[in-house]
Amino acid sequence: MLANAPTKEPFDKLPRVGLAVRALRAPGIPYQAHIGILYREAAESPVMLLHFPAHQKLNHEPPTLEYLWVSCSLDQINQQVLAARLPQIFKRAVENKIPYGISFDGSYFDGEGRYTRYRPQDGLTCATFVMAVFGWLGFEVLDQSSWPIRPADEGWQTYMIKEVMEKRWKQGRAKIKAQLALVGTAARFRPEEVVVASATYTVRPLQFKEVEKSAEELEGQVANHSA
């Protein structure tokens, strides 16, 4: 899958709903991508980006040129429904703040768009936030049972828990202990994989093998993109 660079295909060309993805670059941080949901609340509304960059922090803002983007393959009516309800998630998150966590299992929002899961082992990443929002409206974009547990992801999981959650975000002992217990047992849904699945989903959840190659191609494009 090749994503659109906004300098060539501006965000204004987004029909209604899509995904945005960028690389995170900082000294001492291993390569990783960050994603969010692009949308127009109404047909003539400006394009906005809803994304989960950090523990208890949900952003709703115009996308920047660091992001590449793709459109969703949902039909027009479902895109309208999704776009119209996304502001609920942001509004509710002001009071029901979303924690960070490396695993994903089940539903995370109630019917009003409130985040509901606050056990130490719970939480979302930028990628599973996208999955949870799509799932909230009945769009299970990928088949979770088909995702492998990859040894290569253990380093990322450990880094995020020890270096980011514990040291930077000052998470408590119970939270860190519960999250560390998930390392090597919780499948990681990589951001590029979730972009491919969310962008190509129509009716049936996608299997890992169906998105693997396209996600690898997207990763290369994201890693080489500069605004």
Amino acid 227: pLDDT: 63
Q: What percent of the chain has pLDDT over 90?
A: 92
pLDDT of 25 above 80: no
Q: What percent of the chain has pLDDT over 70?
A: 97
Q: List the chain domain ranges.
A: 11-222
Average pLDDT (132-156) is 96
pTM over 0.85: yes
Amino acid 29: pLDDT: 67
Q: What is the mean pLDDT of the chain?
A: 95
pLDDT of 200 above 80: yes
Mapped onto helix, strand or coil, the DSSP state of residue 72 is: coil
Over residues 105-116, the pLDDT tens digits come to 999 999 999 999
The Cα 33–Cα 12 span in angstroms is 23
pLDDT of 27 above 80: no
pLDDT of 226 above 90: no
Amino acid 84: pLDDT: 95
Mapped onto helix, strand or coil, the DSSP state of residue 176 is: helix
pLDDT of 153 above 90: yes
* Confidence band for 159, pLDDT divided at 50, 70 and 90: very high
pLDDT of 166 above 70: yes
Over residues 44-61, the pLDDT tens digits come to 999 999 999 999 999 999
Structure tokens at 124: 């979302």
Amino acid 2: pLDDT: 85
The Cα 193–Cα 197 span in angstroms is 6
Could you tell me the end-to-end alpha-carbon distance of the chain, in angstroms, rounded to an integer?
Answer: 19
The Cα 101–Cα 175 span in angstroms is 9
